[in-house]
């Protein structure tokens, strides 16, 4: 019924817990998960999860905030995107949150990396998984410029304003909400969630980060994505089951993933 559209199950804290996590997912009616790549170095582990388990899929990409890693070329992304069960490009985008004494102008390396990912998405016709933090104006501008009006995908773990959400929607992107939606101090985000049409929404955990209430502060799990669905259901004034069905359908259409059986 539910899909976790963004998680990092290759991270070390899950190394000996996958069987337990998958059992808890089944109990919580979370039938699928998308495992997200953040470096080329970790991509083999991410892809191995997708090929090992029939209800996991993978993306290929390098997170905008990662430094000191293998810089992705267009060919790097294209080659990996051809592999079985790779259904998206990312996560990619821009992140100016930790400038560490640098200026926005100094972050041209991030913008160049983002453009490489956009080109890979255009050439493969795969959806993008967009990360944007303290950088929404540039994120939208580069998507408009480099995406040529053809780039598509999802703004994941959305925490931006309604104006940014509208700009993303106008570009054809979906909006994904995480456990942040359940936080007491997230009233503004809940207003954004009310604004975004249900047929443009996804839900996610971003595991191991951002566990929803009542697990806030603990290691997150795909099994907790129904708590995000429950909060979104309250906002939309529908049932959690309707949220699960709608967001699952949106996930299937965006990432060309078959319906659960």
**pLDDT value for 176:** 99
Contact between residue 189 and residue 165 where contact means Cβ atoms under 8 Å apart:
no
109-114, long-range: CB within 8 Å, 24+ apart, which pairs? 110/64, 111/138, 111/142, 113/62, 113/64, 113/71, 113/72, 114/64, 114/139, 114/142, 114/146
**pLDDT value for 164:** 98
Contact between residue 41 and residue 60 where contact means Cβ atoms under 8 Å apart:
no
The CA distances from residue 29 to 26, 105, 220, in Å, are 5, 46, 16
Contact between residue 186 and residue 195 where contact means Cβ atoms under 8 Å apart:
no
Task: State pLDDT tens for residues 51-70.
Answer: 999 999 999 999 999 999 99
Task: State pLDDT tens for residues 107-127.
Answer: 999 999 999 999 999 999 999
Is the pLDDT at 133 greater than 90? The verdict is yes
**pLDDT value for 77:** 98
**pLDDT value for 46:** 98
Q: Which helix (H) or strand (E) holds 162?
A: helix 162-170
Is the pLDDT at 130 greater than 80? The verdict is yes
Cα-Cα end-to-end distance for the chain? 10
Task: State pLDDT tens for residues 74-103.
Answer: 999 999 999 999 999 999 999 999 999 999
CA torsion sign for 164, 169, 172, 178 is: positive
Is the pLDDT at 41 greater than 80? The verdict is yes
Task: State pLDDT tens for residues 199-243.
Answer: 999 999 999 999 999 999 999 999 999 999 999 999 999 999 999
Alpha-carbon gap, residue 163 to 121, rounded angstroms: 25
**pLDDT value for 159:** 98
**pLDDT value for 260:** 87
Report the SS3 class of residue 170. Answer: helix
Alpha-carbon gap, residue 5 to 173, rounded angstroms: 14
Alpha-carbon gap, residue 198 to 180, rounded angstroms: 18
Contact between residue 131 and residue 204 where contact means Cβ atoms under 8 Å apart:
no
**pLDDT value for 261:** 76
* pTM over 0.95, yes/no: yes
Stretch 16-38: mean pLDDT: 97
Task: State pLDDT tens for residues 154-194.
Answer: 999 999 999 999 999 999 999 999 999 999 999 999 999 99
């Amino acid at each position: 019924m539910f899909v976790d559209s963004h998680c990092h199950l290759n991270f070390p804290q899950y190394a000996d817990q996958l069987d337990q996590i998958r059992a808890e997912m089944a109990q919580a009616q979370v039938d699928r998960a998308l495992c997200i790549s953040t470096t080329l170095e970790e991509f083999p582990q991410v892809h191995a999860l997708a090929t090992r388990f029939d209800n996991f899929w993978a993306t290929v990409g390098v997170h905008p905030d990662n430094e000191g890693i293998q810089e992705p070329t267009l060919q790097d992304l294209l080659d990996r995107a051809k592999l079985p069960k790779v259904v998206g490009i990312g996560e990619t985008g821009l992140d100016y949150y930790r400038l560490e004494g640098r200026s926005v102008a100094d972050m041209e390396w991030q913008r160049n990396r983002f453009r490489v990912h956009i080109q890979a998405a255009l050439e493969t016709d795969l959806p993008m998984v967009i990360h944007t933090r303290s950088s929404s104006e540039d994120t939208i501008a580069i998507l408009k410029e480099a995406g040529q009006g053809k780039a598509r995908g999802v703004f994941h773990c959305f925490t931006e304003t309604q104006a940014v959400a509208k700009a993303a929607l106008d570009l054809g992107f979906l909006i994904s909400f995480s456990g942040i939606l359940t936080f007491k101090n997230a009233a503004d985000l809940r207003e954004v969630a009310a604004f975004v049409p249900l047929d443009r929404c996804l839900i996610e955990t971003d595991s191991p980060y951002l566990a929803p209430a009542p697990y806030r502060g603990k290691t997150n799990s795909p099994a907790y994505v129904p708590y995000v669905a429950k909060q979104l259901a309250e906002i939309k004034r529908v049932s959690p089951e309707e949220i699960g069905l709608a967001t699952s359908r949106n996930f299937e259409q965006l990432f060309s993933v078959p319906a659960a059986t």
